[in-house]
Structure 1
Amino acid sequence: MGHRITGVGIFFFLLVHVLDTSLVRVSPDAYDAVIGAYKHPIMIVGEIGLVGAIVFHAFNGLRIILVDFWKQGTRYHRQMLWAVLALWFVTMAAFSVRHLMLFVQGG
């Protein structure tokens, strides 16, 4: 279920990304306004959430491939899920700390 939810979330992000980027051809002022809104401090939470969704989707996708194509995959699917969650947590902890440091420093 988590794989599907993150997939749909990533899809909608990409849809919005394409639409807001296409504004540059229609109205550069509208594009600047949208990009300016993205620089709001609350967007840091959205950025961390987006990266979290992408990282989980990627790690879990590898787990699904192993379950589907590895003979022992169904036997170890629960352990692999815990490994995915552990990898996700470590990756997100490192990313979040670095991302927040850059935000605080203004970079």
Structure 2
Amino acid sequence: MSTAQAPARPAPTKKLNLYKGDPGMWSWVAHRISGVAIFFFLFVHVLDTALVTVSPESYNAVIDTYKTPIVGLMEIGLVALVLFHALNGLRIVLIDFWLKGAKYQRQMLWAVLAIWVVVFAAATARLLFLLFQHL
């Protein structure tokens, strides 16, 4: 007489994590963060520009605040965000509309980062030159 054996349990599988730390995932996160930051900048920009119709004196005070070195450094951050968001947005368009886009998305990400570094370095040099010129 033979005994029936219970089927062997499969080895527990590792739970797959959607956010696994891939550079593409960090690009996705950075794209969202840069988009939100640019939105808030534009919101504040529209408000302070509209201030000229309400109170020209207040508008001039706000503009004087924008001429401080801290705001000059914030402009460099804004350039970094806008530049990354634009370049990464072009990469996303290529991934979506180019048949081979998904296949080359990692290479395009590294190209975006390389272009970003070169252009941002040039922009930073120019902005720092202007910042120190007005001190």
Tell me if TM exceeds 0.5. Answer: yes
Q: Match for 2:72 among 40, 44, 68?
A: 44
Q: Give the distance between the partners of 2:37 and 2:57, measured in 1 at CA.
A: 28
In structure 2, stretches of 5+ residues that fail to align are 1-28
% identity of equivalent residues = 61
Alignment coverage as a number of residue pairs: 107
**Residues 8-47 of structure 1: pairs in structure 2 closer than 5 A:** 8-47=36-75
CA-CA distance at 1:73 after TM superposition? 0.8
Q: Give the distance between the partners of 1:25 and 1:51, measured in 2 at CA.
A: 28
Residue 10 (structure 2) aligns with: none
Q: Give the distance between the partners of 1:50 and 1:100, measured in 2 at CA.
A: 13
Structure of larger gyration radius = 2
Residue 60 (structure 1) aligns with: 88
Residue 125 (structure 2) aligns with: 97
Q: Which has the larger share of helix?
A: 1
Higher RCO, Cα 8 Å, sep 6+: 1
Q: State the Cα RMSD in Å.
A: 1.2
Residue 18 (structure 2) aligns with: none
Q: Match for 2:110 among 45, 68, 82?
A: 82
Q: Give the distance between the partners of 1:104 and 1:49, measured in 2 at CA.
A: 16
- Deviation >6 Å, runs of 4+: none
In structure 1, stretches of 5+ residues that fail to align are none
